[in-house]
């Protein structure tokens, strides 16, 4: 009886070993090459390989990326402080990744490169002030909050970012304010 239990235990152990190796082997080599890269570099590489972010964990420091064409979902893990990618693994829950991608795309549809198609005298006055200070328009967000849109301006020389906010209804200017430099780049993933 003890021998049978041991045999079952070792069989399960070997099965788990081969299954985990098989899953690890399915991560495409070009994707697994992002391990030890900086998070920004790894994300750029994933985008170039046709992956789109479909989930990002706030506390676990991991993200799911889905390649719609290849039907492959991968999870990347990274260090909190250094933002170094520490692991890439296959995520077998492709249906959850597909749902996450669909939800993510709806959010990103609000982000647009270049200036907003809005104009009134006060908004134009604010744009001119920013341009005179060496800022250039980067992108705009449709309805960043209910009823309000914003346009982001960046000055790469001074590493400052400003935003113009207006009410969508009537295009009424609300404010021009500074924000963190990191918000000067459109965060929306490029759609190819």
Q: Could you report the average pLDDT of every consecutive run of 10 residues in the chain (192 residues)?
A: 54 50 70 94 93 85 94 94 93 94 87 94 96 97 91 96 95 94 83 46
Whole-model pTM? 0.59
Q: 3-class SS at 36? A: coil
126 found inside a domain: yes
Residues 6+ apart with CB under 8 A from 103: 54
Q: 3-class SS at 52? A: strand
* 102 and 154 housed in the same domain: no
- The residue segments making up the domain with residue 69 are 26-108
* 100 and 116 housed in the same domain: no
* Paired tokens of 78: 């990274």
* Paired tokens of 102: 């669909």
* 78 and 115 housed in the same domain: no
Report the CATH number at residue 124.
3.10.450
* 30 and 101 housed in the same domain: yes
Rounded to the nearest angstrom, the gap between the alpha carbon of residue 117 and the centroid of all alpha carbons in its chain is: 25
* 34 and 103 housed in the same domain: yes
Which one of 44, 79, 108 terminates a domain? 108
- How many domains does the chain divide into? 2
pLDDT, position 6: 52
97 found inside a domain: yes
């Amino acid at each position: 009886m003890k021998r049978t239990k041991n045999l079952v235990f070792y069989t399960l152990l070997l099965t788990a070993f081969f299954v985990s190796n098989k899953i690890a082997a399915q991560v495409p080599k070009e994707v697994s090459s992002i391990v030890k890269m900086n998070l920004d570099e790894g994300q750029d590489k994933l985008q170039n390989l046709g992956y789109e972010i479909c989930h990002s964990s706030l506390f676990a420091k991991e993200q799911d990326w889905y390649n719609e064409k290849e039907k492959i979902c991968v999870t990347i893990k990274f260090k909190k402080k250094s933002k170094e990618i520490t692991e890439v693994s296959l995520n077998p829950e492709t249906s959850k990744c597909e749902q996450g991608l669909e939800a993510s795309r709806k959010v990103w549809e609000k982000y647009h490169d270049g200036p907003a198609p809005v104009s009134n005298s006060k908004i134009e006055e604010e744009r001119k002030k920013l341009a005179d200070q060496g800022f250039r328009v980067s992108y705009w967000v449709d309805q960043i909050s209910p009823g309000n849109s914003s346009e982001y301006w960046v000055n790469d020389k001074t590493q400052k970012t400003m935003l113009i906010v207006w009410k969508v209804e009537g295009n009424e200017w609300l404010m021009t304010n500074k924000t963190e430099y990191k918000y000067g780049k459109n965060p929306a993933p490029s759609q190819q």
